[in-house]
């Protein structure tokens, strides 16, 4: 049986497991649609006038290879919609800035990933279009495949801001450690339950491998191994203890919470002992590159099914990951989305392409993995397992594969090293993660955009350095909180609280 037939046969199960499970499960989720790549309407869409849809998303790739992939995708969309694909990929470190520039400049742009961007801000600044008027007619399969609760997580003031990526939809964090070093030194990595437990391990590894940083950042960022609901991905006003049901839900300042203070105190202590990468707060290197070069022992990572194999694929190192925060789900876990830019001349054509991104296995595989024979090849065609093409490695490919960066990785092939049942496991991960008591609440920051901008500027001065342990929390954290108040944080928190109270009144 050919892989496309395999995918078509199993997709109903995968979509039902993975998508109904989104946001902690939704009993009102529709049944999975037919996946045979049917057109979005009864009329012959191939007779439409010719149009080019320009897609912008993230990841390392050469312009030449990206253009070649776009041409391959165009073969699919040209025959079906008379649409040509133009595509640009931007590296992780500069994606946010270049995406904002493209959205604000009015240049030709149709479909864009929200990676690193705030949908609330994009909508408030009129950078993207609501999808309400286009989903029913131009992407009915996609609309039906996604749960009502997931669509609620995408909606601000009645406006659907994007199509949510069908990836992991829960937060979980752990301490990643390089396997060969752990094995060499006989370290009991499973004994690590909190970040503090890593201290004796760092002491041991540092003595044996002084050439290594004990803990590194990823492009200047160190993940927070904390459990809270950010109530909007800017972290200005959060909900503590989000899994405990209670009558009153108080929005509080993250940077004054006991959990945050304890964490940055640990990081400061680690920094003083020389465990943290010295330039962690300003580093432009990825954790992948530092691990690959043998410069790093550990990193705080997200956890999901297949994460160890993903790290192995990207940095060439086997790893152990000790859980620090168990899985839980918030609205913000449904944050990565595919949007239509406000400058798009024909939103209906962009919507048709997003529908293909979400529903067509051929489109998804090409979008994720690139060109067969050049970027990838089959390892087990019957099971739909692929790997790098002969002579190609993670560091040498001209088109890096990021399944989680696509609209719907769960209709694609599984990459070599991952469990063949990866997509089923991911669906179960999404389904079993307990939801925040504020799950489904979406904050509209329109009324406080000025305050959000001012507070963001304050955070940029302090937070990465605090999280990397480069600043003394005793003296610098009070400065951060005072400057946040001066910039309008209390106004933001009150606005969030008002909206959360209104949401609770309607949804409890």
Three-state SS sequence of 129-153: CCCHHHHHHHCHHHHHHCCHHHHHH
Half-sphere exposure of 357 (CA within 13 A, CB side): 29
What pLDDT score was predicted for residue 120?
Answer: 86
DSSP for residue 238: B
CA-based angle 148:153:158, to the nearest 5? Answer: 85
What pLDDT score was predicted for residue 124?
Answer: 87
Count of Cβ atoms closer than 10 Å to residue 24 Cβ:
22
Please answer whether residues 362 and 76 qualify as being in contact, where contact means their C-beta atoms are separated by less than 8 angstroms: yes
What pLDDT score was predicted for residue 485?
Answer: 98
Q: Give which of 181, 188, 220 is closest to 298, Cα–Cα.
A: 181
What pLDDT score was predicted for residue 233?
Answer: 74
Please answer whether residues 142 and 337 qualify as being in contact, where contact means their C-beta atoms are separated by less than 8 angstroms: no
**Backbone torsion region of residue 32, taken as left when φ is above 0, otherwise alpha when ψ lies between -120 and 50, otherwise beta:** beta
DSSP for residue 245: -
Query: Burial, 318: exposed, middle or buried (Cβ in 10 Å; 0-12, 13-18, 19+)?
Result: middle
Please answer whether residues 22 and 169 qualify as being in contact, where contact means their C-beta atoms are separated by less than 8 angstroms: yes
What pLDDT score was predicted for residue 3?
Answer: 43
Please answer whether residues 406 and 357 qualify as being in contact, where contact means their C-beta atoms are separated by less than 8 angstroms: yes
What pLDDT score was predicted for residue 369?
Answer: 97
Locate 247 and state its tokens: 């009558």
In 157-238, DSSP assigns E strands to 159-160, 163-164, 171-178, 213-215, 228-229
Per-residue exposure over 426-459, b if at least 16 CB sit within 10 Å of its own CB, e if not: bbebbbebebbbbbbbbbbbeebeebbebbeebb
Q: Which residues of the chain have pLDDT under 70?
A: 1-43
* Separation of CA 34 from chain center: 27
Round to whole Å and give the CA distance between 473 and 225.
18
What pLDDT score was predicted for residue 460?
Answer: 94
Locate 154 and state its tokens: 């995408």
Please answer whether residues 131 and 337 qualify as being in contact, where contact means their C-beta atoms are separated by less than 8 angstroms: no
Round to whole Å and give the CA distance between 175 and 196.
11
Count of Cβ atoms closer than 10 Å to residue 374 Cβ:
17
DSSP element (H, E) containing 319: strand 319-328
Locate 49 and state its tokens: 């006038």
> Which sign does the torsion angle of CA 184, 185, 189, 191 carry?
positive
Q: Give which of 181, 170, 168 is closest to 319, Cα–Cα.
A: 181
Please answer whether residues 113 and 405 qualify as being in contact, where contact means their C-beta atoms are separated by less than 8 angstroms: yes
What pLDDT score was predicted for residue 27?
Answer: 32
Per-residue exposure over 228-267, b if at least 16 CB sit within 10 Å of its own CB, e if not: bbbbbbbbbbbbbebeeeeeebebebbbeeeebeebbebb
Q: Are strands 213-215 and 228-229 parallel, antiparallel or unpaired?
A: unpaired
Q: Locate all alpha helices (DSSP H) within 112-257, ordered by sequence.
A: 119-124, 132-138, 140-145, 148-153, 179-185, 199-208
Please answer whether residues 222 and 468 qualify as being in contact, where contact means their C-beta atoms are separated by less than 8 angstroms: yes
């Amino acid at each position: 049986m050919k892989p496309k037939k395999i995918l078509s046969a199993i997709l109903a199960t995968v979509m039902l497991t993975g998508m109904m499970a989104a946001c902690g499960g939704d009993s009102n989720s529709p049944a999975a649609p037919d996946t045979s790549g049917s057109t979005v309407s009864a009329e012959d869409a191939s007779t439409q006038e010719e149009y080019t849809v320009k897609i912008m998303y993230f990841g390392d790739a050469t312009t030449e290879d990206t253009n070649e992939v776009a041409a391959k995708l165009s073969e699919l969309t040209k025959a079906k919609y008379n649409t040509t694909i133009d595509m640009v990929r931007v590296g992780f470190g500069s994606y946010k800035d270049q995406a904002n520039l493209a959205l604000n400049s009015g240049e030709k742009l149709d479909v864009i990933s929200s990676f690193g961007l705030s949908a609330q801000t994009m909508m408030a600044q009129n950078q993207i279009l609501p999808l309400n008027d286009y989903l029913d007619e131009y992407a009915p399969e996609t609309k039906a495949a996604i749960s009502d609760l997931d669509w609620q997580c995408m909606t601000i003031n009645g406006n659907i801001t994007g199509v949510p990526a069908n990836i992991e939809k829960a937060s979980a964090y752990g301490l990643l450690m390089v396997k060969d070093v752990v094995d060499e030194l006989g370290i009991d990595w499973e004994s690590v339950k909190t970040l503090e437990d890593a201290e004796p391990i760092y002491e041991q590894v540092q003595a044996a491998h002084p050439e290594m940083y004990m803990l590194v950042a990823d492009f200047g960022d160190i993940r927070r191994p904390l459990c809270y609901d950010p109530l909007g991905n800017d972290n200005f006003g959060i909900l503590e203890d989000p899994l405990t049901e209670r009558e009153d839900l108080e929005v509080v300042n993250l940077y004054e919470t006991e959990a945050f203070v304890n964490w940055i105190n640990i990081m400061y202590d680690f920094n003083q002992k020389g465990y943290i990468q010295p330039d962690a707060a300003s580093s432009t290197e990825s954790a992948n590159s530092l691990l690959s070069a043998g410069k790093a022992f550990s990193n705080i990572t997200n956890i999901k099914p297949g994460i160890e194999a993903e790290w192995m694929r990207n940095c060439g190192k086997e790893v152990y990951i000790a859980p620090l925060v168990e899985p839980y789900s918030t609205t913000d876990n449904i944050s990565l989305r595919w949007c239509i830019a406000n400058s798009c001349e024909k939103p209906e054509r962009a919507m048709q392409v997003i529908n293909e991104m979400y529903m067509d296995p051929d489109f998804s595989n090409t979008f994720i993995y690139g060109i067969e024979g050049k970027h990838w090849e089959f390892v087990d065609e019957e099971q739909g397992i692929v790997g790098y093409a002969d002579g190609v490695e993670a560091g040498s490919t001209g088109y890096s594969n990021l399944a989680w960066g696509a609209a719907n990785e769960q209709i694609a092939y599984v990459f070599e090293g991952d469990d063949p049942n990866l997509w089923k496991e991911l669906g179960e991960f999404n389904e079993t993660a307990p939801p925040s008591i504020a799950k489904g609440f979406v904050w509209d920051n329109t009324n406080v955009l000025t305050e959000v901008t001012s507070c963001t500027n304050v955070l940029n001065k302090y937070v990465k350095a605090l999280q990397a342990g480069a600043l003394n929390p005793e003296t610098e954290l009070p400065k951060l909180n005072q400057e946040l108040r001066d910039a309008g944080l209390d106004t933001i928190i009150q606005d969030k609280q008002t909206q959360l109270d209104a949401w609770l009144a309607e949804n409890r």
